[in-house]
Chain A
Amino acid sequence: MAYSEKVIDHFQHPHNMGSLDKNDKTVGTGIVGAPECGDVMKLQLKIGPGNVIEDAKFKTFGCGSAIASSSLATEWVKGKTIEEAMKLKNTDIVNELSLPPVKIHCSVLAEDALKAALADYLGKNGQKVPDGEPEKTKEGVS
């Protein structure tokens, strides 16, 4: 199967690869997936005043499409508010990266990781999760 040029570009030059301090109150961490399924995604967001996402970082164990999906997701949410970021849909990632059907789960994982990170931040700060409640929240992995 051939990869789209955008997938290859994100894979070779990932945007926002790295980690933030998960113990920082202004950082939300989402970890989704499972090693035995072949993909685990960690997405972290640093939230500033006005609920604006100031920084985003990812680390991904998975195929090239999973890495590209998380790279793209971090790029897209930077500078957005939590409410705006909540609206990101996996289908946006599918379209941008031209993912084939067999790789759609990579985009779902990126959406889940984003929502889990937001939920983690909101939980830490005693705020409620706005509409579009995430199904999965991963925390306490430390």
Chain B
Amino acid sequence: MKLPIYMDYQATTPMDQRVLEAMLPYFTEHFGNAASRNHVFGWKAEEAVDKARLVLAEAIGADPREIVFTSGATESNNIALKGIAEMYASKGNHIITVQTEHPSILDTAARLERQGYNVTYLPVRPDGLLDLDILHRAITDKTILISVMTANNEIGVIQPIKEIGQIAREHGVLFHTDATQAVGKAPLDVNAMHLDLVSFTAHKIYGPKGIGALYVRRKNPRVRCAPLLDGGGHERGMRSGTLNVPGIVGFARAAQLALEERESESNRLTGLRNRLRDTIMHGLDQVYLNGHPDRRLPGNLNLSFAYVEGESLMMEMNDVALSSGSACTSASLKPSHVLQALGVTDELAHSSIRFGLGRFTTEEEVEYVGGKIVKAVGRLREMSPLYEMAKEGVDLKSVEWSEH
């Protein structure tokens, strides 16, 4: 087993060697601009892009003409929200999204609010799932867009996308989903699920960074989206800029591999994830699972370890790459907004760790990490005044703390 261990696959993934091999010729030999219509260099690049577009469209049950290449999911989310808001402004000014979304949705929505749009941020249940009745009631005759992520990046919870799509369709409201964490891991079909816009990206599925896509429905209904960038009018006018041909080729190869291996990989990761969870839960008391136990990504485990602060736990786990919802790990000094939306107390949000398992995670690694967490939490609890007080029977909630 090689150290350090990477267990942060929801942040990014290493590129698969097979993806790299597919990309390499497009950096040097086939370097053409896919928009060059008059020579073989351009044709070669265009041919590769067309093939990739078809693969990516098929991955989500779409038509290749509905795929718009972007620099990544952040850009896709920006185009979807701002582009729809601008294009449909005459129809309405209300957008519905959810409190647990990624910042590239929440901050974009906040900007639209400053520009005069109304945004509703729906709460979620304690398990992280959206309550469909609440969604129903939030829709008004001014609502132009509903944006709900497919799978959450922190807690891995998978929303009932098909049902949400159904509700949006019944009300004649467009539906966008940020499927960044879900593509290649959970089944996705734009027609069966009534999706009008879908954001996704390559680097979460063992592809390169810097390439993503936005699916934009062409018919029933035909969705129009104002561009963020003006220029050569690439990608049906929705995203100008010379296409990143090697990135696109790698993106498609990555999606192809993810789909081919989805079922077996999903079973393998669910097994490893549950094993990690059980090792930790059997070895320690007062460990809490954040998010729904089963309706989540196979490779995601998010736990709060009472009386232990997340950053110190990651420091103790110094040969394992993990992630925490603790404020200390962020520049904002605020704990995870996702955990707060679930109603997790700030104290437990500070104590949370995300374990992200993926394609190259082995049984041996899971064993090592589980055992090490049990030891690390044990040592830090010995050092924790809160653990000591709790053991003495002090109700921590009754203590008057000095905020600082």
Identify the A interface with B (CB < 8 A): 3, 8, 11, 14, 17, 19, 31-42, 59-64, 66-67, 102, 105, 108-109, 112, 136, 138, 141-142
A38-B350 in contact given A11-B315, A64-B312 (Cβ < 8 Å) = yes
Our pick among A63, A67, A105 for the contact of B404 (Cβ within 8 Å) is: A105
With A11-B315, A38-B327, A61-B307 already in contact, the answer to whether A33 and B404 are too (CB < 8 A) is yes
Closest Cβ neighbor of B392 among chain A residues: A142
Contacts A33-B402, A102-B331 aside, 16 further interface pairs with beta carbons under 8 A come to A11-B312, A11-B315, A11-B316, A17-B383, A19-B388, A36-B346, A38-B309, A38-B326, A40-B401, A59-B385, A62-B312, A63-B309, A66-B312, A136-B402, A138-B402, A141-B399
Q: Which residues of A contact B385 (CB under 8 A)?
A: 31, 40-42, 59-61
Tell me, in angstroms, the Cα distance from A64 to B333 when the chains sit together. 15
Check: B328 CB closer than 8 A to any chain A CB: yes
Q: 7 tightest A-B contacts by CB?
A: A34-B401, A36-B346, A42-B385, A35-B347, A63-B311, A38-B350, A59-B385
B371-388 near A? 1/0 per residue, CB < 8 Å: 000000000001111111
**B396 touching A35, Cβ below 8 Å:** yes
Asked if B383 and A63 make an inter-chain contact with CB atoms under 8 angstroms apart, the answer reads no
Q: Which of A17, A34, A37, A41 has the most CB of B within 10 A?
A: A37
B312 contacts A108, C-beta separation under 8 Å? no
In the assembled complex, B394 has its CB within 8 A of some CB on chain A: yes
User: CA–CA, A142 to B390, complex, Å?
Assistant: 10
Q: Is B364 an interface residue (CB 8 A)?
A: no
Which residues of B come within 8 Å of A, CB atoms?
Answer: 307-309, 311-312, 315-316, 326-328, 331, 333, 335, 345-347, 350, 382-389, 392, 394, 396, 399, 401-404
Contacting pair B384 A61 (CB below 8 A): yes
Measured between C-beta atoms, what is the minimum distance from B233 to chain A in Å?
A: 43
Chain B: CB-nearest residue to A136: B402
Contacts of A3 in B (CB 8 A): 315
**Which residue from chain B places its CB closest to the CB of A103 in the assembled complex?**
B328
Closest beta carbon of chain A to B287's beta carbon, Å: 16
A34 near B403 with CB under 8 A, answer: yes
Are A60 and B402 neighbours in the complex by a CB distance under 8 Å? no
Provide 14 A-B residue pairs closer than 8 Å at the C-beta atoms, listed in order of the A residue: A8-B315, A31-B385, A34-B404, A35-B401, A37-B327, A59-B384, A59-B388, A61-B386, A62-B312, A62-B328, A63-B309, A102-B331, A112-B402, A138-B402
* Contacting pair A40 B386 (CB below 8 A): yes
Counting chain A CB atoms within 10 Å of each CB, the highest count among B307, B345, B383, B394 belongs to: B383
Task: Assess whether B404 is in contact with A108, with CB atoms less than 8 Å apart.
Answer: yes
Which A residues are in CB contact (< 8 Å) with B388?
Answer: 19, 42, 59
B336 CB to nearest chain A CB (Å): 11
Question: B394: which of A33, A38, A138, A141 is its contact (CB, 8 Å)?
Answer: A141
Among residues of B, the one whose C-beta sits closest to the C-beta of A29 is B385
Give complex CA distance A142, B389 in Å: 8
Residue of A nearest to B350 (CB): A38
B346 to chain A, nearest CB (A): 4
Query: Known: A11-B315, A40-B385, A59-B384. Is A34-B402 also a contact (CB below 8 A)?
Result: yes
Instruction: Say which residue of B335, B346, B383 sits within 8 Å of A59 (CB atoms).
Output: B383
Contact B404 A61 (CB under 8 A): no
Per a CB cutoff under 8 Å, which of A17, A61, A108 touches B309?
Answer: A61
Residue in chain A with minimal CB distance to B328: A63
Interface contact B404-A37, CB-CB below 8 Å:
yes
Q: How far is the CA of A10 from the CA of B383 in the complex (A)?
A: 13
Interface contact A62-B402, CB-CB below 8 Å:
no
* C-alpha spacing A67/B328, complex, angstroms: 13
Partner of B383, one of A14, A36, A102: A14
Residue among B327, B346, B402 facing the most chain A CB atoms (10 A cut-off): B402
B314 to chain A, nearest CB (A): 9
**Chain B residue contacts of A67, Cβ below 8 A:** 312, 383
A62 touches which of B309, B333, B392 (Cβ 8 Å):
B309
| Distance (whole angstroms) from the CB of B303 to the closest CB of chain A | 17
Indicate which residue in B308, B316, B327 contacts A61 across the interface (CB closer than 8 Å): B308
CB-contact partner of B345 in A17, A36, A62, under 8 A: A36
B383 in contact with A60 (CB, 8 Å): yes
Q: With A35-B401, A36-B345 as known contacts, state yes or no: A63 contacts B394, CB within 8 Å.
A: no
Which of A37, A60, A105, A141 lies in contact with B389, CB distance below 8 A?
Answer: A141
Q: A120–B404 Cα gap in the complex (Å)? A: 19
Contacts of A108 in B (CB 8 A): 404
Question: How many angstroms from the CA of A35 to the CA of B383 in the assembled complex?
Answer: 14
B316 / chain A contacts, CB cutoff of 8 Å: 11
**Within the assembled complex, what's the spacing in Å between the Cα atoms of A112 and B345?**
25
Docked Cα-Cα span, A61 to B387, in Å, equals 9
* Residue pair B346, A109 in contact (C-beta under 8 Å): no
Q: Which residue of B lies closest to A7 (CB)?
A: B315
Q: How many Å lie between the Cα of A59 and that of B135 in the bound state?
A: 46
Alpha-carbon gap, A109 to B385, bound state (A): 14
